Structure formats: C-alpha cells, structure tokens
Amino acid sequence: MNLRVSTLLIAIILLLPASGLADIYKYVDANGVIHFTNTPTTGDFRLYQTEGGDRVTVKDYIERYANFYRLEEALVQAVIKVESDFNPYAVSRKGALGMMQLIPTTAQMLDVRDPLDPEENIRGGSRYLRMMLDQFKGDLDLALAAYNAGPTAVRSYGGIPPYNETIRYVDKVKRYLNLYRRSGETVL
C-alpha cells in the first residue's frame, strides 16, 4: 500500500464513530464491591465517566442540578462553600451530612440514600433549596434562613429567626453568592 492510501485509511478510521464508547456508571454494593457498567440496571449506579472519557466532577453536578431545579449555579456553590467548604464527607455536630449538609430526616424526605455521595447530596440539597425558595415566594433571605434553621422557625418568627448562627449564615452565603456571580468561576 502506498503512503497516500494508508493515510486515507487512517483518516477514515479516525472519522468513524467509536462504537465502543459509552458512559460508565459505578456502584458500590453493601460488601464494598465496586461494580462498573455502561447499562445501569438499578438506581444505585452513579455516572462515573462520560462517553468522552471525562470523569464527572462536582462542578458537573452543580451545573446539572442547579439547572434542573432552576437555581443559579453561583447560589448552589455558595451554599456548598458555607455548609462544608466543598468537603463531601463533612459531618456537623448536629448530624448534618455531606457537601450541602443534609440532616438525615431531610435527606430521607428528599430520597437521598447516601448523603455522603456528592451527586446525591447536591441533588437533594438543590431540591431542598428550590423548595425553600418556592415556599418563601422567591425571598432569598428567608429561603436561606429556612435552609439553615428550618422553615418552621422562619414562619414562627415571621422572618429570619434571631439566631446568631442563622443571621451569619444568610450573610455569608450572600457574600459568596455575590463573589461567585462576579467572578463567574467555580472555586473547585
């Protein structure tokens, strides 16, 4: 074969779709055995690597669930920054878990099976944040206060509860929100 024909064949092969590419999903069973598949059979599998070979990142989860729940990515980032400083294994002294610090009963209500799994936690936390924004008619201060202290406390006080922790929390999330809005970047 001459050089031209070889070059042409290589170019054609490279342009053909790669039939072997597929998203890869990962699942760790109760015995700690890791399972990988391109065709998940249960909801226990989580996207591990995209078809193009890229690993899924926390930034991808933030983007996916912020868009799904009609939230600003910067807001989800700000809540994560304040709640856990992006630590997926964070556990508060009150028992809140993961990046968005979900209380176990809240996680259960949101169908989050593993609050320490970044994807599940960000999905659940984003959903809860959307619920709080809807419940308080888009009032960000009240929604953030409810995320921190619970919606019952916000309703009982008719506004942000007079808890130092909650007042600082709302201010801190809003500061990071403004920072992330201005920078347009993820700090991951």
The DSSP code for 97 is: B
User: Catalytic residue among 83, 119, 120, 185, which?
Assistant: 83
Distance of CA 22 to the CA centre of its chain: 22
Q: What is the pLDDT of residue 184?
A: 75
Q: Which domains does the chain have, with CATH numbers?
A: 16-56 (no CATH), 58-182 (1.10.530.10)
CA angle 121, 64, 183 (to 5 degrees): 95
Q: Which residues contact 169 (CB under 8 A, 6 or more apart)?
A: 82, 144, 145, 148
Strand boundaries in the chain, DSSP class E? 24-28, 34-37, 46-49
Q: What is the pLDDT along the chain (188 residues), one digit of tens a residue?
A: 555 544 444 444 444 444 445 677 677 777 777 777 887 777 677 777 766 667 789 999 999 999 999 999 999 999 999 999 999 999 999 999 999 999 999 999 999 999 999 999 999 999 999 999 999 999 999 999 999 999 999 999 999 999 999 999 999 999 999 999 998 765 55
Q: Report if pTM > 0.75.
A: no
What backbone torsions phi and psi does residue 95 show, to the nearest 5 degrees?
95, 5
Q: What is the pLDDT of residue 19?
A: 43
120 counts as catalytic: no
